[in-house]
Each structure stands twice: as structure tokens, then as C-alpha cells.
């Protein structure tokens, strides 16, 4: 799946720094897949339907707001056939009006609304979908900025087409195409448009320490060079004030209540105790006494548990504090059953209420504990609790023994906390957990291999079924019910939990919408002449899968075959790469793009992202992307996706994706003893040969396809029970040649 996929995923609230790029990428166990999908279909991304004969894309009109002659925004002009209903437009206007009323009450001129929750998750629980609620933008990435007269959404190239269709231009929404020429970043827009003395509101729970500091500095400069920042931390999230007053059907959902479950040792490979010991060694190297952990996948990995608080990601809302001898997990106690409680206790972990993390951290800071905070993965609100503890200790010292006073939300509650002689007590730096989590142990790798073999069976059944349905002219065949079928077939495999992300099924022009998600209303029919892009994955007890295939169910044009083959050539080049130890993913990205570039083609998303082991489908810190800031090397044991693509707006989309394990390479030589790496493929699902133009493929590339398909047949066919599917698999993996 794309980086949601991104490796173009930028925090829109800040310029992309090298350190930030290095960190990003990034249960509902036994649920019936069909039931879960039906229950959640209203929450899935809405892309407005096309006419029955053709996909009518949103027409763009560039609204030029002059500031030095630059194009600052793209407004959305909807095609009449796809126009938002008057009811939807009225609702969008009412939400903005209500939000601006709350802004007036707080005496602020603008409010920043990011996508993240207090844990900086890519997929958030329903109660944290504030950006989606206020803007109707359903993509996984984006940041809204609402002023008294403007409403803007910044998002990356994966969501341009989708956002154009979802944003209500008549209600005043503007799409800011992040990364495009002449489109400013959020911070640049604030610098150029906020007037001196105007205040920007943020919710300190959903902005990281690094983001908040950058915003504070920006607003301080806007305030005529004064020492006081006009960045205001509001007591209550302003969107929540609007959302919680909504009518019943749109009222803000409550906090999720999914139960925790123990992640079995046979899949984890290391006990929670062992992991805590390793992390404490890293803390000792840095002379730190407490590590603050807020990222949910980091917590699930460290504690060897899994949850179900976010769709598709087996995580649970929680925080963890790791000290030299203790560990505390802050989580809703109702989610901890007897088995989980016993597991955590035996691992030396004390369970405390979710809300008490700030108080506990404040008490530690007041005692002089040296605290390690990842400034990109911990909220400024949590950081401020540590600052309050330091202030309280200083107050006690200066007051000659008087009781410590915890700083109230006067200045520190309204503005980002100043450092209070805290440089030696608080270390701001990258947490050691993401890298430890990214390098899989052998048990995790075996679990991932097994998950992909089960996935190979399910997807072979899916493509066999789909081709037959199209061939027989099933008039009810469409994108939505294909997505349903994908889940139902995976659910037949042992240990299936849920999707690893909502399936992306794009027929024809919908395939060009990179993160398109069909609804029953928007779904295009799939026929014997369709070209279909299918990006899907599963969460299994043993591992996580993510695969994309593009099939033509009829006769592809020469141009479609050329585009597809160039994508395939890039896929093969990356899969076959051998590279020195220490090579960052950005240095490998060109392998996947070179054959598209030679034809003047490209794609505007990253080539590869990390993947968790029975965890989040997007995982950092590694990536394969043209973003030069991410210098994280690809290491032995890491898993990355290999997914070049090409998208012809209004016509078709192509993507071919496998997951790869980075392994030590056995090379004939070893220059200066540096060592070399290559890739082991995890995914074993046929790649359609009908779309390949063999005239532009080398003999080595043809041999690669034949060898890959030989492996698919050897590994998957013994597991296939249905004769019809086995026959399809045999034909799909048949050797190709120019003869």
C-alpha cells in the first residue's frame, strides 16, 4: 500500500527536516470481515461517483491570490453531475460558521487542525477524526487551517484527485497541493498572511514538541519581533466543541473500547522483559532514567500486546514510561483482561489509568529524573507536564522548603512552555524503539512469511473469481463488492484478524486516484474490458501483508502495456538490487523510476515503506523515496515495500507491489569489508503477463518473471484446495518468452 503510504508523507505543519524524515514513514481479533466492513462502510473514504459511461473528473480552476505573483491555492469546481448536494454544502458551511464562533470566543484568528491523535498515528480512532469531520476530506494525510475568512486543506499527491472531489468549494474550502510549485507550506502561508498580533490556536495534545516549537517561533516573529508568542494552546479542542454539539448521527464518537490481547511469543520472538532490558541498555548509554513512549505501535511491540482501537491497525490507546527498574503502561483498565494483566505483571509492567501519564511524568520530573522524549513522537502537552514538574522543584528550592506548586495553565497553559533550565534534565532525541522494532527477528520473519503464503492463496482465489465473473458478464460486479470479496477470502485463512488497510479497488479512471476507496454509491462496474488496480492487505495473528496487482480483463492497448511494463521493469530493478551496508532508501529509489523516466513518465508517491510484523502496515524509520532528508539506512532484517506505479488521470492506474526483506548478500568480493545487502521477496502472487510488452524487456527481466512465477507455483499451489483456482494459478505462472 502506498505511503499512507507515503514516502511523500509530510507533516504539513512543519518543513521537512532530516530528523523528522528519519522517523516517519511511518483486537478486533476474530471479527467477521464482511460484518466489519459493512459496519464501517459509512466511515470509509467517499469519492463521488462518476457517470455510468465515464469518470467525470473534477475540473480545476486556479484561483490566483496575488502575493508576489505566486499561485497560492487551488479551488475546487465540481462537475454538475458530481456536485455536492445543497444539504452537504449547508452542513459544511454550518460547521465552519460554528468553528469560527468558537474562534471568536477564544480571541484567535486561525486554528490549525492536523490529522493526528495524541499518539501521532496514521490511522486514528473515530473520535480523533477531527480533520475529516470539519473538511469532509477522508484521506489518511492532511492538515487544515481555518481562519476567519479562509478554509484550506494541505495534502500530498496521493490525495489530490480525491480531495478535489471531497472538499466543498462552495462552502469556501481550498485545496493546497502540498509540494507543488508555488504552493506554500502551512508555515509559509502563516508567515505571509497572518497579521502582527493575530493569534493561532492549537491543541497541544495533537502537536509534537518539534512542531509546537517551530510554530511558536514563527508566531513570535509575526508579533513584531516581540518576546511573546501568539501561539495559543486552547483548553479544549475547538473542533470538538463544534462536533460534540452535533445532531446525534454526526455527534463525536466516544473513546474506543476494544480489548487488548497478548501477542504470542512464537510470533514476537522476544519477551517483553527482554525488550525492556535492551531499551534500558540504550537509556543507560544516553544516561537517561525515564523514556517516554507515546507511539502506539512502539508500545504494542514493546509490551507484546495487540489492540483494536484504530481501524486496520492492531493498536490500543496508551502511553508507556520506562524507568531504570520499572515500567508503567497507561491504558483504560477495562481493556485489560485477566490474561493480559498476568502477562504485563510477569513482564514487570504496572498498569495505570490512561489519564494519569501526565501526573506521573510531572512527579518524576519534580524528583529530578532525567527524561528522554522523542520530540517528533510525543505531544507538547506531555512535554509540558515534565516542565511543570521541573518548575515545581525550582519553586520549592527558591521558596526555601515551601511545598512545591504545580504550574497552572496560566502562561504555560496558553503558550508553549519555555525551557526552565531543563536542558540537562530532558533529552530531546530519537527514541531507540522504532529502529529496534524495524529490524525483525527470525520469529517475526517466519510469521511474516507464513502470512504471505496464506495471502498468496487468498489472492489467487480472488483473481480467479474476478476474471471468471467478468468473463461471464456478471452485471453486478463492481469495485465495492470486489473489495468485500477480498476480505471474505482472506478471512478463510488461519488466524485472520482484519484488513491491514481498507482495500483500494480502482476500475479504469478510478485506478488513477491513488488512494481511491469505493463505496456502494461510487463503485464503478467491472466488465470483461476493464483494467483494475487492487491494493489490499491483511492482518493475521502471525504477520501483516500488503500487495498490489493491476490486471486487464480484456485486451490492453499498446500504450497501457508500455506503461505497465516500465513499471514492472522498475519493480524488477529494485527487487534485484545489491547495495552496500549503510545505503539509505533514497539512494535506491532511482532503481524503481529509471525506466519510467526514460519515457518521460513518473509517479508522485514514494516507492517503499516499512511494514510492521503483525502491526501497522506503515512503519518507519526506513523508506524508499526521493525525499533526500531521510538518511536512514536499509538494514538487514528490515521489511520494505516495492511499489512503483504510473497513473494516467481520467484513464487508468498501474501499481505492482511486493514486500521485501533486506538480507545480507553473498557477493564475490567485499570492498573494504563494508558488506553488501540485497532483498528476499515475501509476496508470492502472480503478476499478470498479458500486460507485459516483451519487446522492451531484457532477457534478464524475462528470466526474473519466470523465476518469480516458478516460486509462486512451488509455494502456493500445494496450499490451493480448489481445482479451478489451481488451474488458474498454473496458467498465471506459465513461462513467457519472445518466441
Q: Give the integer Cα–Cα distance in Å for 685 and 687.
A: 7
The x, y and z cell numbers of residue 76, run together, are 475546487
Q: What is the pLDDT of residue 57?
A: 22
Would you tell me how many other CB atoms lie within 10 Å of the CB of residue 731?
Answer: 10
Q: What is the pLDDT of residue 571?
A: 98
Beta strands in 118-228 (DSSP E): 143-147, 151-155, 173-177, 200-202
Chain CA centroid to CA 409, Å: 33
CA distances from 282 to 277, 440, 664 (A): 9, 18, 25
Q: Give the integer Cα–Cα distance in Å for 384 and 369.
A: 15
Q: What is the pLDDT of residue 88?
A: 64
Enumerate domains of the chain plus CATH numbers: 58-250 (3.40.350.10), 270-430 (3.40.350.10), 441-732 (3.90.230.10)
Q: Give the integer Cα–Cα distance in Å for 464 and 162.
A: 30
Dihedral class, residue 401 (left if φ above 0, else alpha if ψ from -120 to 50, else beta) = left
Q: What is the pLDDT of residue 284?
A: 97
Question: Phi and psi dihedrals of 33, rounded to 5?
Answer: -60, -45
Q: Give the integer Cα–Cα distance in Å for 182 and 160.
A: 16
Angle between helices 558-575 and 589-597 (to 10 degrees): 160
Question: Phi and psi dihedrals of 738, rounded to 5?
Answer: -75, -15
Pick the closest to residue 600 from 628, 566, 627 (CA basis): 566
Q: Give the integer Cα–Cα distance in Å for 187 and 3.
A: 23
Tell me: the pLDDT tens digits for 684-716?
999 999 999 999 999 999 999 999 999 999 999
Q: What is the pLDDT of residue 85?
A: 53
Q: Exposed, middle or buried by CB within 10 Å (0-12, 13-18, 19+), for 370?
A: middle
Three-state SS for 48?
A: coil
Answer for the pair 22, 616: CB distance below 8 angstroms, yes or no: no
The x, y and z cell numbers of residue 476, run together, are 453486478
**Residue 427: which residues within 8 A CB-CB, separation 6 or more?**
286, 288, 370, 371, 372, 373
Tell me: the pLDDT tens digits for 570-591?
999 999 999 999 999 999 999 9
CA atoms within 13 A on the CB side of 287: 3
Q: Exposed, middle or buried by CB within 10 Å (0-12, 13-18, 19+), for 580?
A: middle
Alpha-carbon Rg for the chain, nearest whole angstrom, is 26
The x, y and z cell numbers of residue 471, run together, are 468473463
* H or E stretch covering 506: strand 504-507
Q: What is the pLDDT of residue 229?
A: 61
Answer for the pair 380, 207: CB distance below 8 angstroms, yes or no: yes
Q: What is the pLDDT of residue 226?
A: 55
The x, y and z cell numbers of residue 170, run together, are 462552495
Q: Give the integer Cα–Cα distance in Å for 132 and 685.
A: 35
Name residues of the chain where pLDDT drops below 50.
4-84, 400, 402-421
Q: Give the integer Cα–Cα distance in Å for 698 and 709.
A: 17
- String of DSSP letters for 319-359: EEEEESS-EEEE--GGG--HHHHHHHHHTTEEEE-GGGHHH
The x, y and z cell numbers of residue 237, run together, are 479542542
**Residue 677: which residues within 8 A CB-CB, separation 6 or more?**
578, 579, 580, 581, 583, 634, 635, 636, 662, 663, 664, 665
Q: Give the integer Cα–Cα distance in Å for 710 and 291.
A: 48
**Residue 321: which residues within 8 A CB-CB, separation 6 or more?**
290, 291, 292, 293, 327, 328, 330, 357, 360, 361, 364
Pick the closest to residue 434 from 5, 20, 3, 8 (CA basis): 20
**Residue 476: which residues within 8 A CB-CB, separation 6 or more?**
none
Q: Give the integer Cα–Cα distance in Å for 656 and 354.
A: 41
Q: What is the pLDDT of residue 336?
A: 98
Q: Give the integer Cα–Cα distance in Å for 695 and 715.
A: 29
CA distances from 716 to 476, 521, 612, 686 (A): 30, 35, 23, 10
Amino acid at each position: 500500500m502506498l505511503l499512507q503510504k507515503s514516502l511523500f508523507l509530510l507533516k504539513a505543519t512543519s518543513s521537512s527536516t532530516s530528523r523528522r524524515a528519519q522517523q516517519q514513514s511511518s483486537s478486533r481479533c476474530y471479527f467477521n470481515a464482511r460484518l466489519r466492513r459493512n459496519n464501517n462502510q459509512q466511515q470509509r473514504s467517499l469519492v463521488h461517483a462518476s457517470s455510468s459511461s465515464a469518470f467525470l473528473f473534477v475540473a480545476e480552476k486556479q484561483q490566483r491570490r496575488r502575493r508576489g505573483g505566486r499561485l497560492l491555492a487551488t479551488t475546487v469546481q465540481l462537475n454538475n453531475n458530481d456536485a455536492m448536494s445543497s444539504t452537504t454544502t449547508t452542513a459544511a458551511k454550518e460547521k465552519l460558521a460554528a468553528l469560527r464562533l468558537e474562534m471568536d470566543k477564544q480571541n484567535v484568528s486561525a486554528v490549525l487542525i492536523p490529522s493526528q491523535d495524541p499518539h501521532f498515528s496514521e490511522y486514528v480512532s473515530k473520535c480523533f477524526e477531527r480533520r475529516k469531520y470539519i473538511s469532509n476530506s477522508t484521506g489518511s494525510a492532511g492538515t487544515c487551517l481555518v481562519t476567519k475568512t479562509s478554509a484550506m486543506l494541505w495534502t500530498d499527491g496521493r490525495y489530490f484527485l480525491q480531495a478535489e472531489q471531497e472538499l466543498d468549494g462552495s462552502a469556501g474550502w481550498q485545496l493546497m497541493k502540498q509540494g507543488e510549485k508555488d504552493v506554500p507550506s502551512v508555515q509559509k502561508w502563516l508567515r505571509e498572511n497572518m497579521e502582527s498580533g493575530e493569534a493561532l490556536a492549537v491543541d497541544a495534545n495533537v502537536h509534537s514538541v518539534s512542531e509546537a516549537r517551530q510554530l511558536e517561533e514563527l508566531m513570535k516573529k509575526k508579533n513584531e519581533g516581540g518576546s511573546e508568542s501568539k501561539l495559543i494552546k486552547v483548553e479544549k479542542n475547538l473542533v470538538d466543541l463544534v462536533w460534540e454539539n452535533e445532531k446525534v448521527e454526526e455527534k463525536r464518537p466516544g473513546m474506543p473500547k476494544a480489548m487488548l490481547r497478548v501477542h504470542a511469543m512464537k510470533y514476537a520472538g522476544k519477551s517483553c522483559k527482554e525488550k525492556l532490558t535492551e531499551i534500558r541498555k540504550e537509556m543507560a548509554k544516553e544516561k537517561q532514567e525515564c523514556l517516554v513512549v507515546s507511539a502506539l505501535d512502539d508500545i504494542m511491540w514493546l509490551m507484546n500486546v495487540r489492540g483494536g482501537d484504530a481501524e486496520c491497525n492492531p493498536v490500543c490507546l496508551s502511553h508507556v514510561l520506562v524507568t531504570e527498574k520499572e515500567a508503567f503502561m497507561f491504558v483504560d483498565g477495562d481493556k485489560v483482561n485477566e490474561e493480559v494483566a498476568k502477562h504485563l505483571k510477569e513482564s514487570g509492567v504496572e498498569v495505570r489509568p490512561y489519564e494519569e501519564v501526565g501526573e506521573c511524568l510531572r512527579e518524576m520530573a519534580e524528583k529530578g529524573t532525567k527524561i528522554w522524549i522523542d520530540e517528533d513522537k510525543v505531544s507538547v502537552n506531555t512535554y509540558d507536564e515534565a516542565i511543570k514538574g521541573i518548575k515545581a522543584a525550582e519553586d520549592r528550592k527558591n521558596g526555601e522548603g515551601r511545598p512545591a506548586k504545580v504550574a497552572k495553565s496560566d502562561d504555560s497553559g496558553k503558550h508553549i512552555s519555555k525551557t526552565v533550565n531543563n536542558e540537562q534534565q530532558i533529552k530531546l532525541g530519537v527514541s531507540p524503539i522504532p529502529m529496534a522494532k524495524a529490524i525483525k527477528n527470525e520469529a517475526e520473519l517466519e510469521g511474516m512469511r507464513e502470512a504471505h503464503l496464506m495471502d498468496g492463496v487468498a489472492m489467487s482465489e480472488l483473481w480467479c473469481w474476478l476474471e471468471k465473473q467478468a468473463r461471464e458478464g456478471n452485471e453486478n460486479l463492481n469495485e465495492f463488492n470486489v473489495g468485500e470479496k477480498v476480505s471474505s477470502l482472506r478471512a478463510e485463512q488461519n488466524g485472520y484478524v482484519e484488513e491491514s488497510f481498507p482495500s483500494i479497488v480502482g476500475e479504469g479512471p478510478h485506478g488513477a486516484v491513488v488512494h481511491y476507496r469505493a463505496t456502494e454509491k461510487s463503485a464503478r462496474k467491472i466488465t470483461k474490458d476493464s483494467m483494475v488496480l487492487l491494493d489490499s492487505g491483511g492482518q493475521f495473528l502471525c504477520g501483516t501483508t500488503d500487495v498490489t496487482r493491476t490486471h486487464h480483463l480484456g485486451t490492453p492497448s499498446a500504450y497501457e502495456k508500455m506503461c505497465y511494463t516500465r513499471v514492472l521493469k522498475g519493480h524488477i530493478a529494485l527487487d534485484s538490487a545489491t547495495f552496500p551496508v549503510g545505503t539509505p532508501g533514497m539512494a535506491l529509489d532511482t532503481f524503481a523510476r529509471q525506466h519510467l523516466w526514460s519515457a518521460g513518465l513518473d509517479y508522485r508517491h514514494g516507492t517503499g515503506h516499512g511494514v510492521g510484523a503483525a502491526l501497522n502496515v506503515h512503519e518507519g524509520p526506513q523508506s524508499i523515496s526521493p525525499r533526500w532528508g531521510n538518511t536512514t539506512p536499509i538494514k538487514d532484517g528490515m521489511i520494505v515495500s516495492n511499489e512503483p506505479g504510473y497513473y494516467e488521470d481520467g484513464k487508468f492506474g498501474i501499481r505492482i507491489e511486493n514486500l521485501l526483506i533486506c538480507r545480507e548478500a553473498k557477493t564475490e568480493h567485499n570492498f573494504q569489508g563494508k558488506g553488501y545487502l540485497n532483498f528476499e521477496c515475501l509476496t508470492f502472487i502472480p503478476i499478470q503477463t498479458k500486460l507485459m510488452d516483451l519487446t522492451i524487456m531484457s532477457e534478464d527481466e524475462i528470466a526474473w518473471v519466470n523465476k518469480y512465477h516458478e516460486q509462486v507455483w512451488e509455494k502456493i499451489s500445494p496450499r490451493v484446495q480448489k481445482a479451478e483456482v489451481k488451474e488458474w494459478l498454473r496458467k498465471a505462472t506459465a513461462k513467457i518468452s519472445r518466441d
